[in-house]
Each structure stands twice: as structure tokens, then as C-alpha cells.
């Protein structure tokens, strides 16, 4: 993710904050396993982690698409290549 604009810096800060929270959740699951907590409790936490990672991924995908389209418009390029690139990346993510 490129940085530069104030909006991009805010998004980057929010993403890093979310990732730190996810890191804390993962450490919590590690402790749950060490403490012998029930599999059901662990699975619930893993689901929350998965959802949080997906939200980060969707945000990054949105930023990627916006950067590509903005660049295409600025450079007067055809956006179809950028859309094809986005679809490829989206398929890898999902």
C-alpha cells in the first residue's frame, strides 16, 4: 500500500491498529490452547480472527482498486487492465 495522501495515512494507521488487535486475538487463542480451554471456545475465537482478517483484506483490496483506477484516470489509461488485475487479486484473496 502506497502512502502519501492524508487519507491513505489514516487508512494505513487503521489497518495497522486492526492487525495489532488480530495479533492480540491470536495470542489469546494460543493461551486458550495452553490452558486447555474447550475446542468450542477456541473455534469461536478463530472465527472472530478469520472475520477480522477478512475485513482487513477487503479494505486493502478496496485501496488497491482505488489506486489503480486513480492512476489510470490520471495517466489516461484504459481501466480494463486494472479491473482484470483486481479480479485476479480478488480471486487469490477469496
pLDDT digits (tens, 9 = 90+) for 12-48: 999 999 999 999 999 999 999 999 999 999 999 999 9
Q: Are 72 and 82 a contacting pair, CB within 8 Å?
A: yes
Centre a 10 Å sphere on the Cβ of residue 82 and count the other Cβ atoms it contains: 19
Distance, CA of 68 to CA of 56 (rounded, Å): 18
Report the pLDDT value the prediction gives residue 2, as an integer from 0 to 100.
59
Higher-scoring residue by pLDDT: 6, 28: 28
Report the pLDDT value the prediction gives residue 6, as an integer from 0 to 100.
84
pLDDT tens for each residue of 47-65: 999 999 999 999 999 999 9
Domains present along the chain, CATH in parentheses? 6-93 (1.20.58.1000)
3-state class of 22 per DSSP? helix
Amino acid at each position: 500500500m502506497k502512502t502519501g495522501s492524508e487519507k491513505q495515512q489514516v487508512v494505513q494507521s487503521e489497518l495497522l491498529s486492526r492487525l495489532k488487535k488480530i495479533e492480540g486475538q491470536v495470542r489469546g487463542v494460543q493461551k486458550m490452547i495452553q490452558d486447555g480451554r474447550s475446542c468450542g471456545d477456541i473455534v469461536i475465537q478463530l472465527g472472530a480472527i478469520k472475520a477480522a482478517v477478512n475485513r482487513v483484506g477487503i479494505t486493502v483490496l478496496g485501496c488497491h482498486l482505488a489506486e489503480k483506477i486513480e492512476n489510470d484516470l490520471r495517466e489516461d489509461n484504459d481501466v480494463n487492465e486494472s479491473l482484470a488485475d483486481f479480479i485476479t487479486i480478488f480471486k487469490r484473496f477469496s
